[in-house]
Amino acid sequence: MARTVLAARFEQSVTANALRSYLAEFISTFFFVFSVLGSATSSRKLMPDATSDPSSLVLVAIANALALSSVVYIAANISGGHVNPAVTFGMAVGGHISVPTALFYWVSQMLASVMASLLLKMTLVGMHVPTYTIAEEMTGFGASLLEGVLTFALAYTVYAAGDVRRGAQGAIGPLAIGFMAGASVLVAGPFSGGSMNPACAFGSAVTAGSFKNQAVYWIGPLIGAAVAGLIYDNVVFPNDQETDSIRGIPDGVV
């Protein structure tokens, strides 16, 4: 019986609709990572001492907000617009998507992030593509906790923005998600970088060839997103609707 269920879920994960979802995640994640890392690189080009210039933080926060709003909007009706392995993990823990589908989402997101980072490195000759690091006064646990709390807020916003019971929200939902991401970068930028997205941190680390403190950008966000989904679905707003196992959101959400 277990083997039959697993086989059925795997077959569902390789249908034409599923493949379109993976492509949508790849495209959205690619342009999100390209925009976020590109904006950080641009700020360093214009301001050599960008790490201590507040305007650099604002620039990156705005880039995060605008890019995430846009890519979530273009992928929402196809893949759910996760654009983040942590969000996908939370959806899988909550039963919104199957584990095989979540793994394929992860592959698409991680590959897109690495390719976006490599493209930046190849095109911006002489410029160092920035990586996510934690401040000297921060411990790994503290940085992971900070990233986890902020990812909780982001994932909780994703759940609220994609909830059909709130009514069709059009572009408002993606905008809310983007605003939360931008605000979180303003909070955590100087301390942990405000990644909230394991794929984004992983792609830049691959390009730089340094995986120092990578666990911070995985453990915290994965736990934060999972807890956010469980609390939203089971405590704050219990979900009794059938969901689309590929898109990971209720039918009808725009």
Q: What is the pLDDT of residue 124?
A: 81
Burial class (CB in 10 A: 0-12, 13-18, 19+), 179: middle
Cβ(152)–Cβ(227) below 8 Å: yes
Q: What is the pLDDT of residue 55?
A: 83
- The low-confidence residues of the chain, meaning pLDDT below 70, are 1-11, 48-52, 125, 166-170, 239-254
Domains of the chain: 13-235 (1.20.1080.10)
How many residues in total does the chain contain?
Answer: 254
Distance CA 84, CA 222 (A): 10
Q: What is the pLDDT of residue 170?
A: 65
CA distances from 89 to 151, 202, 213, 231, 239 (A): 12, 16, 20, 14, 18
